[in-house]
Chains A and B, each alone.
Chain A
């Protein structure tokens, strides 16, 4: 009925008329405004902060500094919400000014005098790991951390994930050829169009009310409880529509500042709203990477061994970067069967903005490294890069790097994705063609896979309430960040209740007091987890409807069916009662009543996940592996090194496509983001590790007209335990884009391109044989 149709998102008309409201759109008389004062140094000791002049400025209500605040961090508590003794990255918050108006806060912020003593700054993971490199965290051994985080005190290593599968020595011994490839790219940004925003106030009853542009409203509640000892039940977090997130709004940062600010002004409502510059560097960023991949293979191109070192640039604080580095390790080989795997994935501290999930969660990073290496291997062996991938494609029966045995359900059909990609791209016709003296067209491909390494006890809940007209309200903790998941949930509910999806209403906002918890809106797990919860809630509602109808119709509930706005007798649908007549219970002609409002409830918790073994990495990190095969066609000018991305392809195993146009939009949007990242995005640092391009004028994402033609298809290999078989698809489009673009351009230019972003100057330098780095 509703599943498989391109249902228009429920909030569509709000979004095209300006009615849609985001956190910063909720204006209130008397609300105070905060301005963040940030560090101009990437690494420095704070000698003194003079706030008197600012405090005396017109309209100023408070100035916050970092003294005496608890350390924060999800996996390891290494980050003060406001820097206290030293700053560890350019743009780090050192003070917060709260004033009646934003202009007053800005003016006062300029009156704060801070004396710094600059320290040598660490600029990349390799630099940070060098003997004698300045240490960012001298107290690394004393930080509170969870059981699965393994910092290495006395170094800049926040965490190391080890993957040991098979016998790497044996693997290389069995190999005819061994190639080694190194790749790197600097941190970059999510650039959600809505910059992050949080407001907080404390009511007279002591309850704390936070509004946040966040993917994690429930985590905000939990962390404010953990960090500051506030009663969880007194913390209420509201999240309206979110203007783009892509992982960047999963961490909790401004919410803590808003909480501290409202406390400093007696509970008055305070708004903390990032300007674009702060949103780009002060708030967490997309992780950088330096990686080395060594592949051993037979002369036919069968992989025997992979040895991979990921040095993730976690920036100044570990927060979620630890998890990202672990996720890349878990899927380190890409969607290929490799018997012998050795991987060390390090989350390294540097004096750069701290990192957090970016759409694909470590996987476009992983695939850029490994898929470049696969192309290099194919070149050495003089094999077709597609053939090499096809030969090694992962299948049911194989095991993953963390030694999970794959089944028909928990992995998508990688060979089918590759086969379809080959047809769509007309791969066999040509891979490189010279159109004239300067113009070359070339194709590049990449495989991709991903599981979601999320907390093993993550859960999701859904409540369905019925209206007196028989229509249904869906209340779920999934945040509407643009993915359309809430509309898909309505489709799932409509399908299960066999009703018109127009009669399924969705509550868009989250209010942690009234919305059942959904762990975090991340990891492409919304449809799976909340979908399962929605199905459970629908089943619960069906049971209740049948119970009431059974009394009215004088039959047993077992003989009843629910659908088409009715509860009817299975073998004689003419005997029925409309849902609307029992949605609020049933009143008999004599006035007696039974039942009550039908309220379906359902929840889902991930099952049988385990943490990784610290020595081998063995363990079950996520519920399933979605797979994809992707390609890019470029037109490259050999004279001036400019290029145009002509076409971008993706074949993704979606399990089951629940909403075709929405699914296409997810895939294409992710591809666009991947191509933008790979072709033009990345922070540029000076030698002191100051970010030189924290503005959209100098950090320029892809614009209209620079986009290629997108060609996307879905394979449907159902995940048996997912709602209607659907797999997560929000991230896969991005997975292969950087690698496919780099592979196409490397082929076009005839030189290995292993750095991002792939700007013409980089290609020019590589062809000249120069090194290339930021200024």
Chain B
């Protein structure tokens, strides 16, 4: 239940969406781009979001593209996580998507929505960060494309009025050996204690994390330690964990020291699965 009023718009093109945004913004409506809508509705009922207009992205053809045969493969931001999982164009992303919320919720949650969410886990970003995917963004200044790693610092750095149109993943990245694991406080549904997505490219491990900090991250320092093959694996892992950004999450899902314990174990699993000597 949304305890306030808003107007709903469903543009049919990128240009129309941007134009609507600009107009609504000028009218003081503080519009929000609307993907699956689950987070907007959730946060609205808790009084954490308010807007006078939502702009639904799901009728924009570019946002609905799923091209698994091209290089790079193209994933529309308005694809639902279930659509991504079922088509499985990028197995590491599939694994990440499959652990978000629950199946029925994933029928609604979109890739763009998960990436840009206020709820800070944004777990699909992990797969894209390690794969160094490109991200297509539209906004009042037109359409641009960037490496996600350049734009994602704790969250996607979008300007007001910008939205994610597509994600492009280069084919070679799709086929790299990878690792994904999500550990929760208990059971198989819920927010993560720690989620790790990793892949190995040219003998270098890329690793990204959610749940460890109040934002997802991929860190050069952490990876430098992980890839420092002069040292034994346990030392590499410990150094990587020590290099995690701060603060470490300490909340109802788990304490900070327990998260670090879990993260270290999952890193060990990751290294083993990616063929490192443990």
Contacts and interface: CB of A to CB of B under 8 A. Distances in A.
Interface of A: 102-103, 106-107, 110, 639-640, 642, 679-680, 684, 692-693, 697-698, 700, 702-703, 705-706, 757, 759-761, 764-765, 775
Contacts of B252: 684, 692-693, 698, 775
Given A684-B252, A775-B252, A700 B190 contact: yes
Given A692-B252, A775-B251, A775-B255, A103 B3 contact: yes
Contacts of A697: 190-191
Contact of A760 (B47, B186, B191): B186
Interface in B25-54: 47
Contact of A703 (B2, B4, B188): B188
Contacts of B191: 697-698
Given A706-B187, A775-B250, A764 B265 contact: no
A775 B265 CA distance: 24
Interface of B: 1-4, 47, 102, 183, 185-191, 250-255, 258, 261-262, 265
A757 B252 CA distance: 13
A706 B4 CA distance: 38
Nearest to A702: B187
SS of B interface (majority) = loop
A706 B250 CA distance: 26
A530 B190 CA distance: 42
Contacts of B1: 102-103, 106
Contacts of A705: 188
Contacts of A764: 258, 261
A738 to B, nearest CB: 15
B186 A679 contact: yes
B73 to A, nearest CB: 31
A700 B255 contact: no
Nearest to A680: B186
A680 B187 contact: yes
Given A110-B3, A697-B190, A698-B190, 18 more contacts: A103-B2, A103-B3, A107-B4, A110-B47, A640-B265, A680-B187, A692-B251, A692-B252, A693-B252, A697-B191, A703-B188, A703-B189, A705-B188, A759-B186, A761-B185, A764-B258, A765-B258, A775-B250
Contacts of B253: 698
Given A640-B262, A761-B258, A775-B250, A706 B188 contact: yes
A679 B187 CA distance: 9
Nearest to A103: B3
SS of A interface (majority) = loop
A642 B4 CA distance: 43
Contacts of B265: 639-640
Nearest to A685: B252
The 3 closest A-B pairs by CB, nearest first: A106-B3, A680-B186, A759-B186
A700 B187 contact: yes
B15 to A, nearest CB: 34
A705 B102 CA distance: 13
B4 to A, nearest CB: 7
Contacts, number: 58
Contacts of A684: 252
10 contacts: A106-B3, A640-B265, A680-B185, A680-B187, A692-B252, A700-B187, A700-B189, A705-B188, A757-B186, A760-B185
A646 B3 CA distance: 44
Which of B4, B102, B187, B265 has most A Cβ within 10 Å? B187
A20 B192 CA distance: 37
A107 B188 contact: no
B3 A761 contact: no
A683 to B, nearest CB: 10
A37 to B, nearest CB: 13
B187 to A, nearest CB: 5
Contacts of B47: 110
A764 B187 CA distance: 16
A405 to B, nearest CB: 44
Nearest to B259: A761
Contacts of B261: 764
Contacts of A110: 3, 47
Given A103-B3, A107-B4, A775-B250, A761 B255 contact: yes
A642 B3 CA distance: 40
Contacts of A103: 1-4
Contacts of A639: 265
Contact of B3 (A107, A679, A698, A765): A107
Which of B183, B252, B265 has most A Cβ within 10 Å? B252
Nearest to B190: A700
Contacts of A680: 185-187
B45 to A, nearest CB: 8
B182 to A, nearest CB: 12
A642 B186 CA distance: 8
Nearest to A699: B252
A180 B258 CA distance: 29
Contacts of A692: 251-252
Contacts of B251: 692, 775
A226 to B, nearest CB: 35
Nearest to A107: B3
B50 to A, nearest CB: 10
Contacts of A679: 186
A466 B189 CA distance: 51
Contacts of B188: 703, 705-706
Nearest to A110: B47
B252 to A, nearest CB: 5
Contacts of B187: 680, 700, 702-703, 706
A703 B251 CA distance: 22
Contact of A761 (B2, B4, B102, B254): B254
B189 to A, nearest CB: 5
Nearest to B2: A103
Contacts of B186: 679-680, 700, 757, 759-760
A418 B265 CA distance: 41
Contacts of A757: 186
A775 B188 CA distance: 23
A234 to B, nearest CB: 35
Nearest to B42: A697
A764 B265 CA distance: 13
Given A110-B47, A684-B252, A764-B261, A759 B185 contact: yes
A511 B84 CA distance: 52
Nearest to A643: B186
Nearest to A760: B186
Contacts of B189: 700, 703
Nearest to B250: A775
Contacts of B183: 640, 642
B42 to A, nearest CB: 8
A438 to B, nearest CB: 11
